[in-house]
A = this chain, B = another copy of it.
Amino acid sequence: MARKAGSVGEETAERVRLAALKLFAGKGYAAVSMREIAAGVGLQAGALYNHFPTKQAILADLMVAHMEALIAAWEVESRKFATPVAALEGFVRFHIRYHLSRGDEVFISYMELRNLEPENFVRIEGLRKYYEGFLRKILQAGAASGSFSIADVPVAAMALIAMLTGLNTWFRAGGRLSVDEVEEIYVKMALGSVMPGGIMQGSSDGAARGLTAAGS
């Protein structure tokens, strides 16, 4: 936030962000000192204050940037999908890929909320709610059209988001399964959890299948 494009100091500020991101994600915000961050950039601690007024401002900057980028990315991606079913599948795939590729940002955005002053906390929480609203709208549309069988849209949205984001806590690249494989599994589980027709075997071939409602 508030970056002066083209200025020399902005390059240093960006390196500060990167070093702080790694350290916060690895040890936790409270356990990281300004001296450590400075060392990661090759500076003395005092020099950090030319770029950020406080330690918490660095954290808030990282979180806001992450949430805004996430929202912007989905706003582009979401244009591809015409039906609620396609949109849900697209959301699952997008959320998984985006979050797995930004592990550090996701980690601090979910773990360090309580280290924010109220003003920053409210702002980040608002952005998060806004992002969750995308999924709620998809589920609402599908429930209205009969594609989904959902007892409570806000609850279903939170359940799905938690399931998807949970991937970040255990998935490691180079393990038994690839991202693509895990993504397919999650798509099936997510769709199965809200669709009256249940799990569709071999449903991973495209995003634009039309599904008519099938009551219980």
Contact = CB atoms under 8 A, between A and B. Distances in A.
Copies of this chain present in the complex amount to 2
A78 to B, nearest CB: 23
A170 to B, nearest CB: 5
Nearest to A215: B201
Given A114-B27, A192-B194, A161 B155 contact: no
Interface string A175-198: 001000110111011101111111
A39 B15 CA distance: 41
A162 interface: yes
A165 interface: yes
A185 B151 contact: yes
Interface in A1-30: 26-28, 30
20 contacts: A27-B114, A111-B111, A151-B184, A151-B185, A152-B177, A152-B185, A155-B177, A156-B185, A159-B163, A162-B162, A162-B167, A162-B169, A188-B193, A192-B192, A192-B195, A193-B193, A193-B199, A196-B198, A201-B216, A202-B216
Interface of A: 26-28, 30-31, 111, 114-115, 149, 151-152, 155-156, 158-163, 165-167, 169-170, 177, 181-182, 184-186, 188-190, 192-202, 215-216
